[in-house]
Amino acid sequence: MTPPHQLLYFDLILPYQVLEKQFGRQFEKLITVITCELWYPKTLWEVLILKTDRFQAFSDGIFAILITILVLEFHIPDYQPGHLLAALLAQWPLILSYVFSYFYVGTLWLFHHDYFNMLQRIDRNVNMLNLLMLFSITLLDYPMSLVADALTTGNRQDMQTAFIVYDLVALFISATFYFMYAYLHHHQDLKKPGISMAFYTAIKFDPVRSVTIYGLAIVATFWSVWLGAILLAGGIIFHFLAYLRMSRQLEQAKGGTA
């Protein structure tokens, strides 16, 4: 029968030494993580996701990639010599849809940047909600292309479909912002000290208002394509005005009580 001290060596110590030699510091970090998870699961998550730097850097990268993808829709048009200007003017649907989409994405980034700058840490749910939010925003390139193509052909039914798809994506984006706002409103421990509760209360329903606008735009599009388009543009402009208001309220909230 193998002595107990030899069993301990062959079953535990030797495998540990082999793995440590092969993987070095990475293995030690893994053991530390497993130990913390077993004994201090809450502490582990606080250590892993306490800081927001990587969270914001990842989100900023997604926004940057999306804006790059939007501009990739541009291409040199086919034209006869001496007719370049006419060919460029014929691309007005693409230019118009790009300008509005860029403005929209830029406004969403401003919201995201300023809002999450007032958090001192995040948790798993914030990470997952942020991924859902980023997923919804990355969908924007598709309806932008649909709208540009439908406006180019001028077919009413195609324009109706394209604008409704854009409205649905915009509605989805606003819904994800509402989920995030509502969650952070009920988890005040994640915010930085000095941000008053009144700030969260004041902005929590902005996404609901934008969802209402896009919902009305969908209904209006069935009756009038151009009225639906105006409401869609109005929803995007509303986001920018709401951001300006949020920015002012954020400055006031920093002077309030936590």
Q: Quick: pLDDT tens for 76-99.
A: 888 888 889 998 899 899 999 999
Percent of the chain with pLDDT over 90: 43
Which secondary structure element, helix H or strand E, spans residue 15, and what is its range? helix 14-23
- What per-residue confidence (pLDDT) applies to 42? 46
Average pLDDT of the chain, as a whole number: 80
- What per-residue confidence (pLDDT) applies to 9? 41
Provide the pLDDT confidence category of residue 131 given band limits of 50, 70 and 90.
very high
State mean pLDDT over 8-17: 45
Neighbours of 120 (CB within 10 A): 13
Burial class (CB in 10 A: 0-12, 13-18, 19+), 208: middle
The pTM score is 0.75
Q: Would you say residue 221 has pLDDT above 90? A: yes
Tell me the per-residue pLDDT of 204-217, one tens digit each, with 9 for 90 and over.
788 889 999 999 99
State mean pLDDT over 4-26: 48
Q: Would you say residue 258 has pLDDT above 80? A: no
Range with lowest mean pLDDT among 44-48, 124-128, 148-152: 44-48
- What per-residue confidence (pLDDT) applies to 45? 44
Contacts of 55 (CB under 8 A, 6+ apart): 49, 116, 122, 126, 127, 130
DSSP reduced 3-state for 64? helix
Neighbours of 89 (CB within 10 A): 10
- What per-residue confidence (pLDDT) applies to 38? 44
Most confident range (mean pLDDT) of 18-32, 81-95, 166-180 is 166-180
For residue 183, give the nearest of 222, 229, 129 by alpha carbon. 129
For residue 91, give the nearest of 139, 157, 143, 145 by alpha carbon. 145
Which token pair is 203?
A: 């902005």
Which residues share a beta bridge with 191?
119
d(CA 47, CA 61): 23
State mean pLDDT over 129-143: 94
- What per-residue confidence (pLDDT) applies to 101? 93
Provide the pLDDT confidence category of residue 255 given band limits of 50, 70 and 90.
low
- What per-residue confidence (pLDDT) applies to 23? 52
Tell me the per-residue pLDDT of 104-128, one tens digit each, with 9 for 90 and over.
999 999 988 888 877 788 888 888 9
Q: Would you say residue 63 has pLDDT above 90? A: yes
Neighbours of 45 (CB within 10 A): 14
DSSP reduced 3-state for 3? coil
State mean pLDDT over 5-23: 47
Q: Which long-range contacts (CB under 8 A, 24 or more apart) does 33-41 make?
A: none
